[in-house]
A and B are shown apart, each in its own frame.
Chain A
Amino acid sequence: MKILETKNITFSYDRKEVLKDINLAVEEADFLGIIGPNGSGKTTLLKMLCRGLKPGQGRVLFKGEDIFKLDTRFVAKNIAMVPQDETIIFPFTVFELVMMGRSPYIDRFSWEKQEDVKIVESAMKLADISRLKDRSIDELSSGERQRVFIARALAQMPKVLLLDEPTSHLDINHQLDILELTKKLNENVKITVVMISHDINLASKYCKRLVLLKNGKIFTEGKAKKVITRKVIKQVYGVDVELIKGKVLL
């Protein structure tokens, strides 16, 4: 069943058209990678999947319903986004930040319940940040912060997890940790994942399907084997590469 769909979405910043007529369908329990050169519209597309941006034209559907017509808290309970690094000014603790992931579930007039605390603790454990619990967010490295945002998204207990370059600030070991974790959630809990990645090789290793964007259009999509070819890389990125066992070598 299609859990997320875009119908002919178009988006422009001022007059510059960033996305043109994108039709994308994400099946339940899919692990979709969005790749493409800088400025190809990857982040814009991802933001539109979670109400972060409103398309100029077209519609975004969650289980067949327009997400801009759904209740904002309902959307937040179902779709979670891990944005690229945000600057945080006030010294919230890691625990407080991850707890914000519970906010779609917490009533305006009440404090968090024992159940929320449990969920937050297990989200922190999954993202391997339990020991940072009481640290202030401004004392953390950017890699640690990234994992805090991932934990916050997990605390939302979403059906769909959107990740905007989740490994960009991480060491190679944490890159793999995060991708393994995402894979586990995808396989065991059947969370649908849509992930932007700069790293074509990591994307093709972990994603079940890839969408390659060029100049705001879908250039090609499908299994990694079909998408990542010498010819396509040359056409989209303009560089000559060698492929060994499906891996790009420069």
Chain B
Amino acid sequence: MKRLLFILPVVGFVGLLAVFFLGLGRDPRALPSVFIGKPLPAFATAPLRPGDTGLASTDFQKGEPALLNVFASWCGPCRVEHPVLMRLRQEGVVIHGLDWKEDAPAGLKWLTERGDPYVRAGNDPTGRTGIEFGVAGVPETFVIDKQGRVRYRHVGALTPEDWDQKIGPLMEQLRKES
């Protein structure tokens, strides 16, 4: 019994170390969205592509889960994730884009030069539309279910691993939901 008491602080210390060590691997920017499980707030934006209809919250209640990708041409990590988005588009994943905090011509140039992965694309020059659903920076990707509810928020570039391990399976599951 005495022995046990003696090693207790050591056990506690090792436990604390383990907690801290696991914490090192966590991204402090990856905050859960307050909108998880809740519908996207109502919004409507100007089109990014001329002659297009832009992006609105009602675009997400079409009986198909979709990704809402917030991007900008001035954003470095957006370059990294762009090929992933192009691949997903080819695989038939519905991705809508919101061009955040820049004027439409810059976003449009990005799409014409690199390819356009978006079904619908909206322009948010002031950033106010993104702020409505808690965007803190670009890129951010939201998983929206068939009813237009936010189910997951991904902060930072979307890597193939992110898709394979988390977002892809989630989309598959949402597709099966009624």
Q: A and B, one complex?
A: no
